Structure 1
Amino acid sequence: MNRKQKISILWAILAAVLYAGSAPVSKLLLQHIPPTIMASFLYLGAGIGMSMLRFFRLKFSRTYKEQKLSKKETPYTLGMIILDIAAPILLMIGLTKTTSANASLLNNFEIISTSLIALLFFHETIHKKLWIAIGLITLSSMLLSFVDSSSFSFSAGSLSVILACLCWGLENNCTRMLSSKDPMQIVVIKGFGSGFGSFVIALLIGEQLVNVKYMLLALIIGFLSYGLSIFFYVYAQRELGAVITSTYYACAPFIGVILSCIFLKETPTITFTIAFLFMLAGTYFVTSDSKSNADIMKNV
């Protein structure tokens, strides 16, 4: 593993840590902010914060040389924006119907969707251990989605989070196609495009603006958990690819679970504990296989 790969792994882990706190904090803010408005302000916070950082970097840094997006990347850019409108709205809706810990753990399903889409449409290679991980994480996600095993009913909140992960899995692969370009520009476009798109949808469905204090908090959380997190994630993808970056990003749900239990006093059920162990095992296979996957992807 060379120096660039090691640094990229640190970017991926840092992105995960920043994102991990978003679920428990968003759960608290959703008591005061409607879900679509919340999704909008999270991405607007990312766009505003990163545009300010980009302005200062362009103005004062002589070494800042990044490629700008071109017309060639327009389909991937539009796909990224549309999917980033849908995913956070689905996640916020899910958080109103399930626990923060449950939603945090289900976020690992993003690895599955990212990996399978990368395999089917972008021809990245999936190694044997990653297939085992896919099976374990899928099983865990199914356990977390059941409400009543006797009637095979599913949790609407869990299914909403899984749909969000599917959107983000496809979005990760769109972003992968842009990862050689300016990461700050990508995050600014994500933030404003997805933020304003969600805001229009919120107004159309009749959601109302709330206390300025809560909206400012949502903007700050958006800058940290979405803006900086996405920024570091894009940098990691340059060297590692969509699949490998997602594997290191997999620690975010576990951090989110810990934070949910500490700050929201959420008590894990037996089913949740079993699902947690399956998810932990799946994540182990994902991370232990990341080096071999990276070696394979060099030849793709």
Structure 2
Amino acid sequence: MNKHNLLPAFLAVLAAVFYALSIPFSRILLQSVQPAMMASMLYLGAGIGVGLLYFMRKKREPVSEKLDRKDLPYVLGMVALDILAPILLMLGLKSTPSATASLLNNFEIVATSLIALLLFKELISRRLWLAILLITLSSLLLSFEGAGALRFSPGALLVLLAAACWGLENNCTRRLSDKNTYQIVTIKGIFSGLGAMLVALMSGEHLPSLTSALPTLLLGFVAFGLSIFFYIRAQKDLGAAKTSAYYAIAPFVGALLSYAVLREPLSSLYLPALLLMLLGTWLLIKDTLSLNQAQ
């Protein structure tokens, strides 16, 4: 790796590490913040933080990069899914070990690829199909309540539903890829955060105390806002394929942090599921990089 790529590579890894913080520390904060309100605060933290970074920038984007009326369906879809997905994730985290939830988040890759195939007719290579199969098998193992149980954990299923929503959201956001990213993230954070807050208040949840709200907003800014910010910066130099390959470590960093911070017991199925997930992610990275070289 040449010196020019060292900083972008570091930023891509930092983006993955920052996002990985979201699962274990969200689980801790859920002790004092209710699930839908938690989702709201995380996205508001990201939207407000990235919005401030956007307004502090000296360089302004060309008019062609600004969102316009034809982008509205994708923006609305993005915001709606970003209201639903984190609420499902926070509800799932209430009863799912955070190390398990971190790995289950990788199901987002499966959902993104299959939705891209079904809705936008994007091709899936044989290697990617194998990666999808392995990640899906791993997710199924992680979703069982135990080695002797033949039923799925409701919490794990909620985490998988959240990942599926983010998979659909990724396809909406991809249609906006040539637009200003700061603007997209700010809109996503603020409007999804306000939408989740409305859902929280309508379902009887209450605003958290200031001592709970501030660390939640800060976590949202770091784990969602700064993570996206560093991802964008890395992508400008490394390209989308290499950046996503570095970012693929996020679920595993999240699982490691979760175990280190919370010391939650792991099921007997966790290790085989982890190995399947590692193999599936490795195949995904190889497929992404080989596609990038072919192009």
**In the alignment, which residue of structure 2 is the partner of 1:38?**
38
Question: C-alpha displacement at 1:270, in angstroms?
Answer: 2.0
Alignment of 1:221 with 2:213, yes or no, is: no
What's the counterpart of residue 165 of structure 2?
167
- Counterpart Cα distance in 1 of 2:43 and 2:115: 24
Identity %: 52
Query: What does residue range 1-300 of structure 1 map to in structure 2 within 5 Å?
Result: 12-57=12-57, 61=58, 63-66=59-62, 67-148=65-146, 152-233=150-231, 248-295=246-293, 298=295
Q: Indicate if the aligned counterparts of 1:106 and 1:162 stay in contact, CA closer than 8 A.
A: yes
Closer, same or farther: CA 14–69 of 1 in aligned 2, 3 Å: farther
Paired letter, 1:275: A
For residues 125 and 4 of structure 1, what CA distance do their matches in structure 2 show?
A: 33
Structure 2 unmatched ranges of 5 or more:
none
- Whether the 8 Å contact between 2:146 and 2:268 is mirrored in structure 1 is no
Distance 1:247 1:65 in 2: 27
Q: For residues 294 and 6 of structure 1, do their structure 2 counterparts lie closer, same or farther at Cα, with a shift above 3 Å needed?
A: farther
Instruction: Provide closer, same or farther for how the CA distance between residues 294 and 20 of structure 1 changes in structure 2, counting only shifts above 3 A.
Output: same
What is the alpha-carbon distance in structure 2 between the residues aligned to residue 288 and residue 10 of structure 1?
Answer: 20
- 1:52-87 Cα distance to aligned partner (Å, 9 max, x none): 111111xxx1x4435211111111100000000000
Inter-partner Cα distance in structure 2 for 1:3 and 1:180: 28
CA contact (8 A) 1:20 1:255 kept: yes
Give the TM-score, by structure 2 length. 0.90
2:170 and 2:242 map into 1 onto residues whose CA distance is: 11
Q: State which drifts further: 109-118 or 196-205.
A: 109-118
How far has the Cα of 1:148 moved from its partner? 4.9
Q: Structure 1 residue 13: deviation in Å?
A: 3.8
When the two chains are superposed, the root-mean-square deviation of aligned CA atoms in Å is 2.5
Closer, same or farther: CA 14–176 of 1 in aligned 2, 3 Å: farther
* Number of aligned residue pairs: 292
Long gaps (5+) in structure 1: none
